[in-house]
Amino acid sequence: MIQPGSWLGILGGGQLGRMFTQAAQSMGYRVAVLDPDPSSPGGRISDSHLMTEYDDLDGLKELARFSSAVTTEFENIPADSLRFLSDLLSVSPQAEAVEVAQDRIREKTFLDKHGFRVVPYAIFNDANDLASLPQNLVYPGLLKVSRFGYDGKGQILIKDFTELKAGFEKLGSVPCVFEQFLPLEAEVSVIVARDQMGDTAVFPVAENQHCNGILDLTIAPARVADPIVSEAKQIALSLGEVLQYEGVLCVEFFILSDGGLVINEIAPRPHNSGHFSMDACSVSQFEQQVRVTSGLPLIKPRQHTSAVMINLLGDLWENGEPPWGRVLNDDRVRLHLYGKDDARPGRKMGHLTIIDKNLDEALILSQQIKTVLGKK
């Protein structure tokens, strides 16, 4: 066990790295953040900020020299960097798991192979694959880049096969996955923490609503039937087992009209849809990440109040600072801003959590707040 007072390292200093850093620091750890961006939200509040690229071996060595263990906050970290570090100290999650989650083709293939239900898909590595179109493609569909897509970026709606070639070229002729566009009943996600001993702790299932491919609202607990809740948790735990995962893992699901669950994607880190845990649970997803990283026992999360999380995108800053006073005068509202200077449209600047014993009341207040903020 790595004692509080020791140093923990994290690759990536975005908002997830920042909230990890805050959780670790409040438990007495010191945190080294490796992120090339001098103004990264996590780097700014870290005890040491190493501003090197993620594949810079000197930077990685320096991080290892500082730290007793290392974790990561985003999936596009080169897996080789995690491998390099794991020869020097404890690293979670492991390179192999991150490698699966950072590449849609690998992810789908892995999930399929291990019997997890995914959206019907076809793989397009190059133009030759377009020439030999699979017969079973059902349109419309979404063509998604295999790597570096996020928040609905790097994907195009394809209405029929004549659009496929142009769509592939528009995405840069890089390896892609074609997914059937499914009518969704709802979207839910499950966050599970799994430690080196295989002990696990699952967060309540959360319901997610997206706007333009970006998470807009998370409602927790999810308003879905109990068997769906149990199944989603069971799938997330099984996946953790198959991956022999160490760390915090998010599994995002689509719920189909027949109640069936399919995995949309997985994230090898805390997730936007788990932010409600900071204000509504006995332990946050970030404290669990600290606990796995440092070998402390996991806590079984208990949700003590219903919650609605609203994402705050840069668009809200169009006319200056949003009217926080009109939002924070209700004691059920918690504001989290990530310390980003540049409020670009679509950029995640922070979130609000509305907590209320009664979920319906929390939902009503969240609608009122959206109106006050002028949020569409």
Stretch of 62-70, 82-90, 174-182, 337-345 lying at the interface with ligand AMP (CB under 6 A):
174-182
Which residue from 35, 99, 265, 287 is in contact with ligand AMP, where contact means CB under 6 A? 265
Strand 48-50 relative to strand 30-34: parallel, antiparallel, unpaired? Answer: parallel
- Give the whole-angstrom CA distance, residue 324 versus residue 328: 6
Which residue from 90, 264, 311, 366 is in contact with ligand AMP, where contact means CB under 6 A? 264
- CB-CB contact of 246 with 94 (8 Å): yes
- CB-CB contact of 57 with 84 (8 Å): yes
Using rule CB under 6 A, residue 164 touches ligand AMP = no
Number of residues that bind ligand AMP (CB under 6 A): 13
C-beta of 100 vs 119, nearer to ligand AMP: 119
Report residue 351 as tokens.
């979130």
Q: Which of residues 201-260 bind ligand AMP (CB under 6 A)?
A: 210, 213
| Residues 132-151: x where in contact with ligand AMP by CB under 6 A, - otherwise, as a string | ----------x-x-------
Which residue from 84, 139, 181, 324 is in contact with ligand AMP, where contact means CB under 6 A? 181
C-beta of 95 vs 158, nearer to ligand AMP: 158
How many Cβ atoms from other residues are within 10 Å of residue 225's Cβ?
11
Which residue from 10, 101, 119, 278 is in contact with ligand AMP, where contact means CB under 6 A? 119
Report residue 238 as tokens.
């099984």
CB 268 → ligand AMP: shortest distance, Å?
15
Strands (E), the chain: 7-11, 30-34, 48-50, 69-72, 90-91, 121-124, 141-145, 155-158, 176-180, 184-194, 200-202, 206-211, 214-220, 247-256, 261-267, 306-313, 333-337, 348-356
CB 254 → ligand AMP: shortest distance, Å?
7
Which residue from 35, 99, 179, 356 is in contact with ligand AMP, where contact means CB under 6 A? 179
Using rule CB under 6 A, residue 272 touches ligand AMP = no
Stretch of 52-60, 178-186, 228-236, 342-350 lying at the interface with ligand AMP (CB under 6 A):
178-186
CB 35 → ligand AMP: shortest distance, Å?
23
CB within 8 A of 209, min separation 6: which ones? 187, 215, 216, 217, 218, 219
C-beta of 231 vs 252, nearer to ligand AMP: 252
- Give the whole-angstrom CA distance, residue 260 versus residue 254: 8
- Give the whole-angstrom CA distance, residue 305 versus residue 357: 5
> Residue 143 — φ and ψ, nearest 5°?
-95, 125
C-beta of 152 vs 339, nearer to ligand AMP: 152
C-beta of 78 vs 213, nearer to ligand AMP: 213
Burial 171-197 (b: 16+ CB within 10 A, else e): beeebbbbbeebeeebbbbbbbbbbee
| Residues 74-113: x where in contact with ligand AMP by CB under 6 A, - otherwise, as a string | ----------------------------------------
CB within 8 A of 120, min separation 6: which ones? 136, 138, 179, 180
Burial 105-118 (b: 16+ CB within 10 A, else e): bebbbbbeeeebeb
- Give the whole-angstrom CA distance, residue 136 versus residue 122: 9
CB 298 → ligand AMP: shortest distance, Å?
27
Amino acid identity, residue 101?
A
Report residue 336 as tokens.
């989290």
C-beta of 156 vs 184, nearer to ligand AMP: 184
Which residue from 32, 182, 232, 333 is in contact with ligand AMP, where contact means CB under 6 A? 182
C-beta of 62 vs 151, nearer to ligand AMP: 151
- CB-CB contact of 156 with 170 (8 Å): yes
CB 309 → ligand AMP: shortest distance, Å?
15
Q: What is the contact surface with ligand AMP in residues (CB under 6 A)?
A: 119, 142, 144, 152, 179, 181-182, 184, 187, 210, 213, 264-265
